[in-house]
Structure 1
Amino acid sequence: MLPYWAIFILASLAAIGAKPLRRIRRDGTVPVRFKPSWLFVIFAITLFVGLRYQVGGDWYAYVRIFDQSQFLSPEEAISRGDAGYWALNYLVGQSGGSLVWVNLAAGLLFAVGTTIFCLSLPRPWLALAAAFPYVIIVVGMGYARQGVALGFVMTGLVALSRERFIRFLVWVAIGALFHKTAIVMIALGAASVNKNRFLWIPIIGLAGVGGYMVFLADYADQMIAGYIGADYTSSGALIRISMNMIPGFLFLIYRKRFVVSEAASKFWTVAALLSSALFVAIFAGVPSTALDRMALYLLPLQLFVFSHLPYVLGRTGRQQTSVTLGILAYYAIVLFVWLNFAAHSQWWIPYRIWPEIA
């Protein structure tokens, strides 16, 4: 457990020691600037995620994908579901590489997207510390395909907050190449349309229909059978959905205090309402696995809300520091509970490095 706690503590200390305010533009956006410290963050996350060995609940599933990809032709590789991930495996294998290089490439894509999103927020180090217990450890390390997809989605959300809808659509589409479920984010993006609604809503609608036809249509029956029709539940789904609902509830209460663009405010309002709907749905008998997978793409809501919360709730520097410490204590509890009591955390413990590199 030591590596997990060491990284979380370092991120938390950086969050506490960071300057109390970042420059926010008049439109509510924050300039994204890659300082050397954040380039190191990308490097560190890439290595931490990419060099793992037999870590993560889906580890052997990804081993099978890598092995199977080596018996495919290039055309067959890109015709599989999640074509981007299969193509990555195929290219690495044909180049003489092993699964570690696939994981490093996936880790890099995930790390860049996560970092860009954190840097777009008022307190990026606090956002990074909040991301570590679940976004980085569980999704980035456990669900490699969805981790990459989430990285591209987060990059798209930064573009969306600046009302750059075409860029948002492009980033989501790239993410869907690694996990097709990312395409559902287009529907949420439509909610943030502010200017030229009569132009953009049809465009986003067509993009959503096109995305469904390209990424989901051929796999709809399989996904329904796997996520909805199957008689099983996702362990810990209620806790994870609750973790999205809490910041969503806070955003809905204090929405007017968040200094964000109008497009971002609309998007996060819909995301907050959806997080509450998922919480209700799980008690209404909707299969938790389907809800859990959908909730993965709402994880950025936690980083967004908690990065703003010190300014929303605190008027003085001391109050803001107290809120920051409270958020970090909350995520320390999350990390402790997950490492010690989660049903599948044994797949992450101990953290191992690829044997040929160690």
Structure 2
Amino acid sequence: MSYLFPTYAKWEVKAESGHGATLIDDNGKEYLDFISGIAVCNLGHNHPKVNKAVQEQLNKLWHTSNLFQIKGQEEVAELLVTHSCADYVFFSNSGAEANEAAIKLARKATNKHKIITLKNSFHGRTFATMTATGQEKIHSGFGPLVSSFVYAPINDIHALESLIDNEVAAIMIEVVQGEGGVQLLSASYIEQLKQLLNKHDILLIVDEIQTGIGRTGRPFAYMHYDLSPDIVTVAKGLGNGFPVGAMLGKASLRDYFTAGVHGSTFGGNPLAMSAAKAVLTEVFQESFLEEVRQNSEEFLENLRSTFKECSLVKEVRGLGFLIGIECQIPVDKILKTCRDKGLLVLQAGPNVIRILPPLIVTTEQLNQAIDILSEVIQEVSQEEKSSIEA
């Protein structure tokens, strides 16, 4: 019997420990972890520098209040600002909270209430962020949602423009839709989006919860394009597993988030800041990011080459170490067989295998993952062929 609400379709794996890109279950079986806690453990499991930073802070101070000066907040905020287009930071405990802050700030700063997001997007599960999420399955069963969110199809600039009126405060996007099937915004779409933002004086919010903190080989995914968002949200990889999120904003927005307007009891606590500082100090090194870019590009090309002639694979796409393999069939069985063979990968919609290795993954581990994926997809392809022939 479990005393937990059944909100997750839990797998049979019971994780006990891990190191780097390796996860170990309660029976001692080792897995290549190409989920990374869903793009959270960007530095892998048990990273020594992150562990040391948190352990040192544990013996100093866990919590005070945001009424106090917290040195770590200033240090982490400086790292985030230095490596982004933003000027100020608000700390939260999660990505959903960061997106809540972004929505509130955009509405308050513009005195407008309408937010445009994209279909198949994912922005969280609080009432405002699940409404911002462009997926009916996330909305279903909860009654009336937060008003003034509307949705445009991805990469359709004309559909987006048709939704713009005088009440639009912001457009909220993911440069790569992770939960939505690893779908990339096109460069031409982003260029046209910029023109619309300028023409109508609309704020741009970029949700970097899954794509940020080096996941795509840049500090933030928007940096692959000539973009300068007004607001950026991060979480997941920011703490390498320690719960922490942040909303970054430009200087023009500062005076709309003053004392009493917004807050968080635990946001930016000393423990979270110790983890985040250690992560950013490591990830934001240009040599580290360059290695991520090189390794991920090679991995993506090897995947494409491997499955070029495979009839079961429709497309391999991605940016950095956020990669999707779209298949002609639901991928549940592929994921299960991969787990049996020691590789952990994830879904992004029914037909897409989502691959999120830690950024510190080795070439040997990447090649091993390709071997397992190739073996499993070939097996499933043969089974599908035999089933059709029968």
TM-score (norm 1): 0.28
Larger radius of gyration: 2
TM-score (norm 2): 0.26
Query: In proportion to residue count, which structure has more helix?
Result: 1
